[in-house]
Amino acid sequence: MARVDLIIPVYNEERQLEASVHTLLAWCAGHPEHEWRIVIADNASKDRTLEIARRLEAETGGAVRALHIPVKGRGIALRTAWLTSDADVRAYMDVDLATDIEAIPALVDPIAAGDIDVAFGTRLDPRSERTRGLKREVISRTYVFLLRRLMGLDVSDAQCGFKAISRDAALELVPLVRDNAWFFDSELLWVAQRNGYRLREVPVRWTDDPDTRVRIVHTAIEDLRGIVRLRRHAVPRALRAGGREA
């Protein structure tokens, strides 16, 4: 049995946070093979998100942790949550649960068993199922093409909000990632691959959220800037050599 933190980074999510947390709590109760904890990483919300998170923490006796990060940025939320966690496996997912949570074991179990270091969901693998608009589909595929062509990143999807990492890999890799926003995911995978850590894609069932807080064009521009930055700098080296990619 491993201790697993399921981290939900949130910004102004008062409308759906409580329902999503209760859905996850019910799922965790039905999967006793690990010791689960849900961490709500509040990312400088201006609504009642933090209030709701703290109430859920008080009501659940440790099954939920409220973590307040006073600076906005998904990367900084994940950096803070992963580096302050004491869990064996640190995972994260989006608050809308756009990724079917039945894929959690495929994400977490190989890391808990010591078989891989980083697992990440993919919406673009032929085995995946997805419901999304044409605009986001084209942007995602173009972005992955650039990652593969310009950075040599061997993935089919880098930005799916569904990833997990081992304790050791988190402590070794996260400090090497410079981005604090949406490019954090891509940079983490690139640093992990270039340092020889064992990576595995997990095909998922994914449904687009029309109420997403993601600004698609702005995020795409920031991602392109991130690619340019990484191409200009040497690969940051981890303290230890990772294993082979799985």
Q: Are strands 199-203 and 118-122 parallel, antiparallel or unpaired?
A: parallel
Residues 6+ apart with CB under 8 A from 70: 44
| 183 neighbors 224 (Cβ within 8 angstroms) | no
Q: Active-site residue numbers? A: 185
Quote the CA–CA distance of 108 and 181 in Å, as a whole number.
24
- At 123 the three-state DSSP class reads coil
- Best CA proximity match to 185, nearest among 216, 221, 147, 236: 147
* Residue 42 CB coordination number (10 Å): 24
**Residue 200 has which token pair?**
């595995």
Quote the CA–CA distance of 94 and 46 in Å, as a whole number.
18
